[in-house]
Amino acid sequence: MHSRLKLNHGNFRIEIPENDPTPSHPPIPKDLIDRKAYLLWESRGRPISSPQQQKKDYDDALRELQSQLSKGLSLNELQSSYLTAGASTRFTTNDREEFRSHIPYSYRRRHNVEQWLQKHSEGHVRVQSSGLLDLIEKSMGGDIVVSRQSYHVGNYEIAVLLKVVWGDYHILVATNMKGSAVLHWGVSKLSPEEWLAPPPDMLPEKSKMVSGACQTYFTDTSTGKGFFQVVDVNLQKRTFVGIQFVIWTGGSWIKNNGKNFFVSLKPMKPSGKIDGDGEGIVRWLLDEISRREKEAERSLMHRFNIATELMELCKAEGELGLIGILVWFRFMACRHLTWNKNYNVKPCEISEAQDKFTNILQRIYLNQPNDLEIVRLVMTCVGRGGQGDVGQRIRDEILVLQRNNDCKTGMMEEWHQKLHNNSSPDDVIICEALLNYVRSGFRIDVYWQTLNANGLTKEKLASYDRRIMSEPHFRTDAKEGLIRDLSAYLRTLKAVHSGVDLESAIETCLGSSVKGRVDSVGGLSLKLQDCLNFVKAHVGDENIGPLMEKLLESRIELRSLLLTSHGRLKDLLFLDLALASAVRTSMERGFKDLNFAHPPEPMFFMSLVLESLCLSTVNNEDFIYCTKDWYRVCELYTNAGQWALQTKAVLDRLQLVISERSQNYQKKIQPSAEYLGNMLGVEKWAIDIFTEELVRAGSAAILSALIKHFDPIVRKFANVGCWQVISPVEVCGFLVSVNELITTQSKVYRRPTIIIASRVTGNEEIPDGVVAVLTPDMPDVLSHVAIRARNSKVCFATCFDQNILRDLKLKEGKAVSIRLKSTNLVISDISSFNVSQDSFVSFSIPRGISLKKKPFCGIYAVSVEEFTSEMVGAKSCNTKFLRGRVPSWIKIPMSVALPFGAFETVISEDVNKDIANKIAQFMKFVHHGDLSKLQAVRESVLQMNAPLSLTYELKSKMRSSRMRWPGDEGEERWHHAWQAIKKVWASKWNERAYVSCKKAKLDHGNLCMAVLVQEIICADYAFVIHTKNPLSGDTSEIYTEIVKGLGETLVGAYPGRAMSFITKKTNLMSPIVIGYPSKLTGLYSKQSVMFRSDSNGEDLEGYAGAGLYDSIVMDKEEEVVLDYSKDRLVVDKAFQVSLFSKIAEAGKIIEGLYGRPQDIEGVVKDGIIYVVQTRPQI
């Protein structure tokens, strides 16, 4: 018996709380709660909040985070989701106040954009790994694998290799099948659709012919690493389009998705790519598309199925094959092709066909990283598609909509019949038009406005197989139900037909509670989900800033998923395309409200558009570095005196990048558009603007518009007008517009002419009779064409205002005068009489100059100590003059030279007599005006053989001068050096040089070419100094231009401007920067040798011969996309002043040695100044 203990004669009571107020999860950092509270505030549209509301946001954020921890998420996962390092907006407690002032609150936001760098990879196609392929390749031997393909059919793997074995092409078809298997095959000679019996002499062993085909038994092969069966077909040296085959095994045919397997032999054929401006087309593919268009126009199902088949066939064609498909589908998407003709098809069949096609695009996206841009463009032309009930819902839900809203007759029944028999992307537009009609209170004009704005007319509606002839009529009391059901139906239509529709793409990835919707995509971070929900809620906001930030944050979060083999990759791709499109359309919508006079605002939005371009572009190095530089100038605003000049340089570079990419698209895509468009009967206007419209549809177009509006503001801040005058001369003349200056350089104008040239590279010769060249291009002030313009007293200027140039082009043939006003030009209309009577000047070179032929000195190589004006040109002689006269801190490279007459002596050798005769014959044509034969002369010079005595003497002189002899590294290295020497000699026959001599009335036959040989200084920077300011003529100022890498980008035809500065000779320690760099690329060389042209026609008094002839580096230079954002020359003021002062001092010293202004070229390596040549400044 137990005694009971009680509490005051009652029971003990323990209170157990319903909820533990202190759950066992780690404390949440305050910055994480702040960030979550901030996101909650953002999700409500960033309202002005009271302190009480801000506290409520904080409490709500804490509760949500605690809830997520309770559900099993770790604190680390929450932090990585909400506080992604380097990729999040910098949040401060003042952000809300900052936002209220209508300044984008985070224009200083930064991302580590270098992580997004995506260069073209080596090799074109990355084939997925296949154990069977690897096994065959190792087991079967052979020399070169031309292509590899792998197929999976059920449990079988079929591998196909195209190999070269002892010079013959072999196709190896192998499989992992067990038991007897037969390859049933034929060849295609002209078209991939063709099946012909192979020639009897190329049948493999164990083969027999059966009614137009060959049947070959597979041979069992066993190795230590596995078993397979194989057929080896030796094509010998025959060329076919491909082979087709199926396999018989186990009593059934093995096929490729119900079709024959096809192996394209394009890699082994003579190229099917037809040249056009250096680019081409895949003719067989475009011909095949044209041939099958009649079948494709029956329905979208047919079109997608054919496209899927052709995509498989053109795998080996790489990017150009994809471009062919892109052109075809864009013509279709723009309604230049018929979508449906005399064929009824279920929506689910269209959806399934789309699904197969987009699956192929997804596979290419993963396996061919170089082609991502083209794949993305193709995907913008198609819907997502899908298997199962995705397409069937189009049929089912229209019936529900009609029943719910009592609209089973008239237009709705006509539309119902169209939807049942051939649904298309037009149905999305029709549904949107019906919604707008209902929302507007049943205004029929709103219905037609929506249709017409999207290209649908009464005639188009009446042209469908199931015609829509009636206008909609609904009961007014059905308005709410119609809006609800049409909105839901629009989502169904977009899910199939609108791959890049933003709302549909977000719903597909986030999932939806609506019955029948697809499940959400797995692997989306909490941050991405928050961003997408914000985008969805605010996509129509008038204030676009927060929306665009979230669009970009979404794309950044998506990026890592797009780089993996995600099971729903194509849904993620469509989402990314939709987000990128929304960046563009949001910016277009908000453009009119931008305050360009307040720089932080447009700069913020330009950052967003730039980031979006970086994420959309392959080979995006130029956009990446421009973005980094843009971040830098954003930070400089208001606290740097030269902010505007630096910003102007970045804007100039961005314009160059956009222009070059647009031209690249034009070269790659337009030839296919023209060929296929003509074959399909597309209207000429649509063909002509095809690529232009494709470019306009991308984010680069809106960035270009932002630059166009912001550039005048920046120029005003920088005190830079509409013109940069490179050669200040006042002239009168008649306006002529040309695309490229180089196309006119051999022309003679019979009256004073002012050329407006869209493209000036810097290497051209200015045509005879031209008094001015005006261009939007930006050649360097010290480029060869600029120097020749100043020497010839030709006005030369860059115009930054496209409106001015457009107005001038409209005056083609009219007479104008050009006058100087400060740093700008004033252009006025005048009468043609005034030009012809008062303004025609002589454009010839000053009289009295002539070329005297130089004799050969008897030896093929001379050292610097032996240089004389009878042996070598001014370049070499000046090198000798400087040695020992300049201070020791100015270095002069070691040099030797091939003297005057060396070329003439070599060409007269017996071994080169045939070449000499060819050159003489070609020159007869040239003397009669056929300048095209100059190229044949140059090519003939490159065929010359080197006498042994030349090789020996040059080797001896270089070694005795402590220079490396190229041949010490192998005979091949001497061959490279000899080719470089011949290229210098051949440049005597450059067209610009020949034309220049003719203009100057110089005897081209008397022109002699020595070759100055110098070791390359692997430069950090290269510069050109004019010790008299060429823009103002001020002798007290030194003008200098400097570039990263070798100097060819400065004096040659490389787009963009060099960095420039002026220095007073009385104050060398205070250089003034007047222009920042916008060069796209720099040239860099390994240890090598430079062979410089050194003719007797380059430095004649009053004649600018510099730059007419070529200097050649023995080894090809590496072209590097430049990053200025961390370059000390731009960002380190102390380094900049120190280096510029040293360069200017070197210029002043050398000018003092000669007693007249000098044109000096040099380089900087590890802070040391090297002068490589000098000449009198003209």
| 784 part of the active site | yes
Tell me the one-letter amino acid at 700.
Answer: A
Question: If pLDDT is split at 50, 70 and 90, which confidence band does 554 have?
Answer: very high
pLDDT higher than 80, residue 949: yes
Q: Where are the beta strands (DSSP E) in 830-955?
A: 862-863, 890-891, 895-898
And the tokens for 796? 């030369």
Question: If pLDDT is split at 50, 70 and 90, which confidence band does 20 have?
Answer: very low
| 457-471, 539-553, 839-853, 1136-1150: least confidently modelled range | 839-853
pLDDT higher than 50, residue 640: yes
Tell me the one-letter amino acid at 336.
Answer: H
pLDDT in tens, 175-220: 988 889 999 999 988 777 789 999 988 899 999 999 889 999 999 8
Quickly tell me which residue has 């012809």 as its tokens.
836
Quickly tell me which residue has 């979230």 as its tokens.
550
Question: If pLDDT is split at 50, 70 and 90, which confidence band does 723 have?
Answer: very high
> What letters, b where the CB count within 10 A reaches 16 and e where it falls short, cover 769-787?
bbbbbbbbbbbbbbbbbbb
From first CA to last CA, the distance across the chain in angstroms is 126
pLDDT in tens, 80-89: 666 543 333 4
Question: Would you state the pLDDT for residue 144?
Answer: 66
Nearest to 670 by CA among 689, 698, 696: 689
pLDDT higher than 70, residue 290: yes
What average pLDDT score do residues 62-85 get?
70
- Please state, in angstroms and rounded to a whole number, the distance separating the CA atoms of residues 811 and 808: 5
The CATH homologous superfamily to which domain 862-909+945-1176 belongs is ATP-grasp fold, B domain (3.30.470.20)
| 107-111, 116-120, 503-507: least confidently modelled range | 107-111
Question: Would you state the pLDDT for residue 997?
Answer: 87
Any idea where the domains of the chain sit in the sequence? Answer: 30-115, 131-268, 283-379, 387-497, 503-583, 594-720, 722-839, 862-909+945-1176
Is residue 1000 within 8 Å of residue 1090, measured between CB atoms? no
> What letters, b where the CB count within 10 A reaches 16 and e where it falls short, cover 1154-1165?
beebbbbbbbbe
pLDDT higher than 70, residue 521: yes
pLDDT higher than 50, residue 883: yes
Question: If pLDDT is split at 50, 70 and 90, which confidence band does 126 have?
Answer: very low
Above pLDDT 90, what percent of the chain? 53
pLDDT higher than 80, residue 343: yes
- Please state, in angstroms and rounded to a whole number, the distance separating the CA atoms of residues 126 and 118: 15
pLDDT higher than 70, residue 274: no
| 278-287, 802-811, 879-888, 1157-1166: least confidently modelled range | 278-287
More confident residue, 99 or 946: 946
Question: Would you state the pLDDT for residue 1100?
Answer: 75
Is residue 897 within 8 Å of residue 871, measured between CB atoms? yes
Question: Would you state the pLDDT for residue 3?
Answer: 54
Q: Of the residues 784, 928, 1004, 1026, which is catalytic?
A: 784
Strand partners, 740: 759
Question: If pLDDT is split at 50, 70 and 90, which confidence band does 98 have?
Answer: very low
Tell me the one-letter amino acid at 952.
Answer: Y
Above pLDDT 70, what percent of the chain? 88
More confident residue, 463 or 1025: 1025
More confident residue, 717 or 270: 717
pLDDT higher than 90, residue 429: yes
Is residue 1085 within 8 Å of residue 999, measured between CB atoms? no
Nearest to 215 by CA among 189, 247, 180: 247
pLDDT in tens, 730-783: 999 999 999 999 889 888 898 999 999 999 988 788 998 999 999 999 888 888
More confident residue, 44 or 796: 796
pTM to 2 decimals?
0.77
Hey, CA dihedral for 434, 439, 441, 444, is it positive or negative? negative
CATH entry 3.50.30.10 includes domain 722-839:
yes
Question: Would you state the pLDDT for residue 514?
Answer: 43
pLDDT higher than 50, residue 712: yes
Question: Would you state the pLDDT for residue 496?
Answer: 78
Q: Is 816 left (phi over 0), alpha (psi -120 to 50) or beta?
A: beta
Which CATH fold would you assign to the domain 131-268?
Immunoglobulin-like (2.60.40)
Q: Quote the longest CA-to-CA distance of the chain.
A: 141
